[in-house]
């Protein structure tokens, strides 16, 4: 149903083997991109279309297992 024109990021990689399940990335995300998988007790990238690579998750991750890859040129809405 949703039509996504262009996203700010290409990919959000989380190395789940290194992830210790501390939830810091879920808490740090201000856009509800990363959700918590209750069954696996690991983060899931639920809404990558809303990521604006603020990098708060990367900064918060104690194990350094997140890599957000931006989409450049950016989809900045023109004002002209």
Partner 1 sequence: MPKLEDLGEVISTDVLVVGGGVGGLATALKIKEENQNADVLIVEKQTTGWAGKATKIGGILAFLGPNDDADKFLDFQVRTSGFYLNDQELLYKYVRSSYKAIEQFVEWGNRLARTPDGKLVINRAFWAPEWSTTFIDIDMMLPMRARARKMGTKILNKIHVVELIKQDSRVVGAVGFDIVSGRFHIFKAKATVLANGSCGYKVRRFWISGTGDGIAAAYRAGAEMRNAEYGNLYGHTVFQETDSGMVGYASLMNASGENLAKKYLPDMGPAGVFLPVSLAIGLEKEVAEGRGPIYFEPPSSAPPPGFDSGLPKLGEWQKRMEDKERKYGLAPGVKREIGVPLHGETSCIKVDKEMKTSLEGLWAIGDTSYAGSAVAGAVASPPGVTPGSGIMYAVISAGWAAPSAARYAAEAAPVDISVAEAKTLKNIIFAPMQSKNNLSPLDAIAVIQDVTAPMKYNLRRSKERLEEALAKLDRLEEKLPALQAKDLHYLSKCHEVKSMALCAELTFRAALMRSESRGFHFREDFPERDDKNWLKWIILKQDEGKMKLSSQPIPIGKYKIKPVN
Name the β-bridge partners of 12.
68
Name the β-bridge partners of 27.
none
Q: Tell how many helices (H) and how many strands (E) occur in the chain.
A: 2, 4
Task: Name the token pair of 51.
Answer: 């990521």
Please identify, using beta-carbon distances, which residue of 39 and 80 lies nearer to partner 1: 80
Please identify, using beta-carbon distances, which residue of 16 and 59 lies nearer to partner 1: 59
Q: Which residues bind partner 1 (CB under 8 A)?
A: 1-5, 8, 26-32, 35, 46-47, 50, 52-56, 58-59, 68-70, 72-74, 76-80
Residue 68 CB, nearest approach to partner 1 (Å): 8
Element (H, E) at 59: helix 56-60
Residue 16 CB, nearest approach to partner 1 (Å): 20
């Amino acid at each position: 149903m949703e039509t996504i024109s262009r996203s700010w990021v290409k990919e959000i990689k989380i190395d789940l083997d290194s992830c210790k399940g501390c939830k810091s990335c879920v808490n740090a995300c201000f856009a509800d991109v990363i959700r918590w998988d209750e069954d696996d007790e690991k983060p899931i990238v639920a809404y990558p279309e809303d990521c604006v690579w603020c990098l708060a998750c990367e900064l918060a991750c104690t194990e350094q297992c997140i890599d957000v890859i931006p989409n450049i040129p950016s989809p900045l809405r023109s004002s002209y």
